[in-house]
Amino acid sequence: MGYDMTMEISALNEIFVEFYYWITVPLMFLIHVGFCLYEVSISRAKNHMHTLMKNAMLIPVVTITFFLFGFWIWFAGQGPFGDFAGGTTGLPWDATMGANVKDHIMGVFWAAFLLFSWTAASIVSGAVIERIRTGAFLILAVLVGSVTWMIDAAWGWSPSGWMVTDWGYHDAYASGVIHGICGGAALGILTVLGPRIGKFAPDGTPRDIPPNNPWFAVIGLFIIYTGFWGFYAACNLPIGNVNGVWTATTIYGTPTTLSTITFNFLMSLAGGMLAGYFMSKGDSFWTFSGGLGGIIAASAGNDLYHPLQAFLIGIAGVCIAYKLHFWVERKFKIDDAVGAVAVHGYAGSFGVIVCGFMLWGYPAVLDGSATINPLGQIGGAIMMFFVLGFIPTFIVAKILNAMGILRIPHKVELAGLDYVEEQTRAADSQAIVDAELAEAK
Amino acid sequence: MSTGVESWSAESFAEMSAMSPFVGSEVILTAVVAVVWIVWQIWQIKAENARYDEQEAKL
């Protein structure tokens, strides 16, 4: 009995692609583990459980809304502006959105996108800890994780998105489409939410609210680094035939290689860590955040940069983000508890803009009908950070604030967001001790 | 009686696409799940508000 080798290889190729994406999902799960550990460690002991639950509950809420409409937005929003030519692809009742013997990949692809959505909402989560209500945060998490980032991905992170085909927008590993937008979204909320009580002295001087557990916070960032490998891998298509050559491609269908992104991921991480250490004079939190910022700054063009370019862009992005963070904090009294706006928003936007100069004239799409250029990238950075990032969350936060459901009540914030649980736990423990003592007598 | 697939024979499998039970109910399921999500979200906000009211009263 013989084999049809063409069919065998074709089937193996399909299974490889499915498995490739599938393995990125548990890797990206680590990003969320890292975010939870990091946020809880940054928060004060009186707010630990609230901080954990606020972040953890975005998982079910973003997941269900992403299934209901988030994934569909990505398909529907591609093509010319306002075209909505995606049909039913990605809608919950589409035949591919479930157990289907004719389609093996959609659920895996959906999950890879969903984990990006969790990351998007989680980036916002860190900035607003210790004073936002969980209910308000979850509404904003749905807005960012299942709506606005999916719009920007449809427009700027697909080969047929109008920002790509009309502006030549290029953002291979999501400097803008994830990090820029989420930094802007966090800033929009922070502007309305206000700082934590005590963050600023009466004369406006910012005070440092130190992490409850600094070394656990950096372990959280270490875990995010690990998960970031899954994020990078998920941004690629593992095998594609580019004009007769088999290679990995970006989401735009333009060629890259695993070798390239491995070089550049690590070199931009190294540059970012060196810069973070230098700028903060060895502060652990900013050194590790710098590593993340370095990757984010180089991500837009890490499909094509030379490793030394990625290294230098990582350094520059982190230096700018660090300086901007403290300038915005002093000037506008913005309390970004984890530096999310800086590490994701400023470093990401810088990365999008610098990519326009570094890759000026490179084809943005395979047929060369659009080319990467500085103006397209500057427009893209503004679109991500302000138009789709800052403005929607600012408006929704204003509405939630007017309804009185945005911020934790003043007295509760002072006492601690876990006050009730802690009192109950202490009372329960005492009751057990009393019962045991009574039994002993 | 079957809620979906009745056979994994080569003929049936070749014709098959969706494998889950009650094919055709997806739109109704979507509406039900959307309601579950919205109701949960409203309940969560109300529960959280009540909790903070209670906590403020104690402080």
> How do the domains of chain A map onto residue ranges?
15-408
Q: Is the pLDDT of residue A35 over 60?
A: yes
Range name among A94-98, A359-363, A391-395 with the lowest pLDDT average: A94-98
Share the mean pLDDT of chain A.
95
**Predicted pLDDT at A12:** 87
As its CATH architecture, domain A15-408 has Orthogonal Bundle (1.10)
Residues 6+ apart with CB under 8 A from A379: A163, A167, A169
Residues of B at the A interface, defined by Cβ within 8 angstroms? 13, 16-20, 26-27, 29-30, 33-34, 37, 41, 44-45, 48-49, 51-52, 54-56, 59
Maximum CA pair distance of chain B?
A: 71
pLDDT tens per residue across span A117-137? 999 999 999 999 999 999 999
Q: Which residue of B has its CA nearest to A102?
A: B17
DSSP secondary structure string for all residues of A289-348 = HHHHHHHHHHGGGTTT--HHHHHHHHHHHHHHHHHHHHHHHHHH----TT-HIIIIIIHH
Q: Positive or negative CA dihedral for A64, A121, A310, A167?
A: positive
Which residues on adjacent β-strands are paired with residue A363?
A371
Q: How confident is the model at residue A80 (pLDDT cuts 50, 70, 90)?
A: confident
Q: Is the pLDDT of residue A211 over 60?
A: yes
Which residues on adjacent β-strands are paired with residue A240?
A247
**Predicted pLDDT at A2:** 63
Do the chains contact at A133 and B48, CB–CB below 8 Å? yes
**Tokens representing residue A206 in the block:** 């910012």
pLDDT tens per residue across span A268-279? 999 999 999 999
- Give the CA angle between residues A150, A154, A158 to the nearest 5°: 130
**Predicted pLDDT at A317:** 98
Q: How confident is the model at residue A423 (pLDDT cuts 50, 70, 90)?
A: confident
Residues of A in contact with B20 (CB under 8 A): 98-99
Give the CA radius of gyration of chain A.
23
**Predicted pLDDT at A418:** 92
Q: How confident is the model at residue A8 (pLDDT cuts 50, 70, 90)?
A: confident
| CA–CA separation, A366 and A242 (whole Å) | 8
Q: Which residue of B has its CA nearest to A140?
A: B41
Helix/strand/coil for A133: coil
Residue A171 region, left (φ>0) first, then alpha (ψ -120 to 50), else beta? beta
Q: Is the pLDDT of residue A332 over 90?
A: yes
Alpha helix positions (H), A101-148 = 106-127, 134-142
Share the mean pLDDT of chain B.
93
Do the chains contact at A102 and B41, CB–CB below 8 Å? no
Identify the H or E element spanning A255.
Answer: strand A255-256
**Predicted pLDDT at A329:** 97
**Predicted pLDDT at B50:** 95
Please answer whether residues A91 and A74 qualify as being in contact, where contact means their C-beta atoms are separated by less than 8 angstroms: no
Q: Which of B18, B44, B55 sits opposite A99 (nearest CB)?
A: B18
Q: Is the pLDDT of residue A441 over 60?
A: yes
Do the chains contact at B52 and A134, CB–CB below 8 Å? no
| CA–CA separation, A186 and A189 (whole Å) | 5
Percent of the residues in chain A that have a pLDDT greater than 70, as a whole number: 99
Strand duo A245-249 + A237-242: pairing: antiparallel
- This complex has an ipTM of 0.95
**Predicted pLDDT at A29:** 95
| CA–CA separation, A233 and A236 (whole Å) | 6
Residues 6+ apart with CB under 8 A from A31: A115, A118, A119, A122, A223, A224, A227, A228, A230, A231
**Predicted pLDDT at A266:** 98
Residues 6+ apart with CB under 8 A from B14: none
Q: Is the pLDDT of residue B37 over 80?
A: yes
Residues of B in contact with A65 (CB under 8 A): 37
State how far residue A206 is from chain B, nearest Cα, in angstroms.
28
Q: How confident is the model at residue A108 (pLDDT cuts 50, 70, 90)?
A: very high
pTM: 0.95
**Residue extents of the structural domains in chain B:** 25-59
Please answer whether residues A198 and A328 qualify as being in contact, where contact means their C-beta atoms are separated by less than 8 angstroms: no
Identify the H or E element spanning A396.
Answer: helix A391-402
**Predicted pLDDT at A6:** 76
Query: How far from chain centre, in Å, is Cα A146?
Result: 12
